[in-house]
Structure 1
């Protein structure tokens, strides 16, 4: 897992919490200037004495070690004049990144709370957690399983055991703790975050942990569906043709505007597989997934009907 950080000049090399919005915006802006100048990642990396892979991580909004001097040298290499509006925009974002570094250090959140559990999740999930922590909207479509943010602890325990039967009891508890903290963050951000989950009815047919666990899970979903910032809708198995039949499970994350400048980070579609994950940002891909969401919503049950179905299924599993 990548552990390097963006370094701050004048001996202020502080750790940053995840892929922050200014950090992503800065990386995307620098990529645009590099491509506009017709420079390769190899050439640009060599110019400031970092590898092209490291430069690529920077452009993806991930953490690397880089200084203000190197940022300025890149802008010179990309023929971004001094002074110029383009250069001021980049350096302004870089200043905002540094401010977040300092604020995170003061607040004791410099490493991202989830980093304490980095030994308990796959390397690709670190970036997702940093995006989840800053999202203003999360839309999930799930075909087979209850999403992690909605899992009852015993359902989660069963899934952990299925995925890794040999895992120690201590590690099982740490993974449960990580899941609980993620769920708590969603509750704490009720005023700033909206979450919509479109679930195939099939997720209630699978029984990780057995009928008793699924009874608790269904009741838990019914309770969650009453929260003002959470919308849960089931897609019946007998629903008419809809995009959910051809699209795999995914999560669409959307972000608020940057606090101090007129920029909004583009949405991200996250698709997780057994061996890794995809982070998709191209506008056409986002549009296709938005259309898929709209099509799935058309055949999904209403929120109230979904809540009633959760309650009925809970009773059936208890019987």
Structure 2
């Protein structure tokens, strides 16, 4: 294989491909040197692939790595789909494209993130959902799912909240919720009461900043942004800069990932404007507890 330049642009598909391959290599008990030897590569070639900096990715090589690591067929299919994506910094992942819908690209980014900056206009974000709230939403989206499948999905949702719940160095969260999120009845008053109490309790944590944008604030930006999450990856154990930030926008038929600095900056400015018009943290907490009591009494 020809030598690739070390400064190849890293993009979400390639970063996620590299993470999955690294994790599966580790699970298989192989070192980079071991796996590279089996591929008849230099160790640096595999290292660039695992860090998302390889500029030439061949599907035949990805298939062979999947075979060596013992990666199951459905996951291997998803990795091949990631490998086939163009090197672009604005990536629309349609649910019916080369990557199966069951292969969740976002989960890998979420697990690695150290900062979450988010705005939600309709629903409580997954990181802050109670199990009952998440269960109700999943049943609505998947009416034919068995009870066992529903519970498995809810358990996965709760497990994905680990970055903000871990005791040491939890991820920081800065969320603005539109007031409609609090007023929109999901699964009945009892579930909503518990969800709002949960949000109020979370807002007491030092690493969680939660604010509500009231109806009275109108449209601070003059147009809707839609829901978004800005994921930051901080620094590594040695204090080196992590991966570049990503804006994630979930749609009904796919997901948008934005990495260009100009796009990320625009979302950061929008978030600052929304936060400036929102209730402060103590006011938000009081509103959450008040509405929680109203739901509980309904």
Same fold (TM over 0.5): yes
**2:48·2:54 contact (CA, 8 Å) conserved in 1?**
no
Between 1:234-243 and 1:139-148, the stretch displaced more is: 234-243
**Which of 263, 269, 274 does residue 247 from structure 2 map onto?**
269
**1:24·1:60 contact (CA, 8 Å) conserved in 2?**
no
Superposed, 1:206-217 pairs within 5 Å as 206-217=184-195
2:34 counterpart residue number: 10
Secondary structure, counterpart of 2:286 in structure 1: helix
How far did residue 218 of structure 1 move?
A: 1.0
CA distance in 1, matches of 2:117, 2:219: 21
**1:268·1:279 contact (CA, 8 Å) conserved in 2?**
yes
**1:140·1:198 contact (CA, 8 Å) conserved in 2?**
yes
- Does 2:248 correspond to 1:232? no
CA distance in 1, matches of 2:227, 2:20: 31
Structure 1: 5+ residue stretches without partners: 15-21, 32-43, 62-120
CA distance in 2, matches of 1:221, 1:4: 32
How far did residue 246 of structure 1 move?
A: 1.7
TM-score by length of 1: 0.65
CA distance in 2, matches of 1:158, 1:295: 32
Superposed, 1:131-146 pairs within 5 Å as 131-146=109-124
1:221 counterpart residue number: 199
**2:114·2:163 contact (CA, 8 Å) conserved in 1?**
no
**1:26·1:59 contact (CA, 8 Å) conserved in 2?**
no
2:141 counterpart residue number: 163
Post-superposition CA distance 1:247-281 (Å, at most 9, x none): 01000000122445844321000011112111110
- Summarize the Cα distance change of 1:224–1:45 in structure 2 as closer, same or farther, 3 Å threshold: closer
CA distance in 1, matches of 2:167, 2:140: 31
1:193 counterpart residue number: 171
Structure 2: 5+ residue stretches without partners: 1-16, 26-31, 39-46, 64-79, 90-99
TM-score by length of 2: 0.69
CA distance in 1, matches of 2:108, 2:48: 11
**CA RMSD of the aligned region, Å?**
3.4
CA distance in 2, matches of 1:235, 1:271: 19
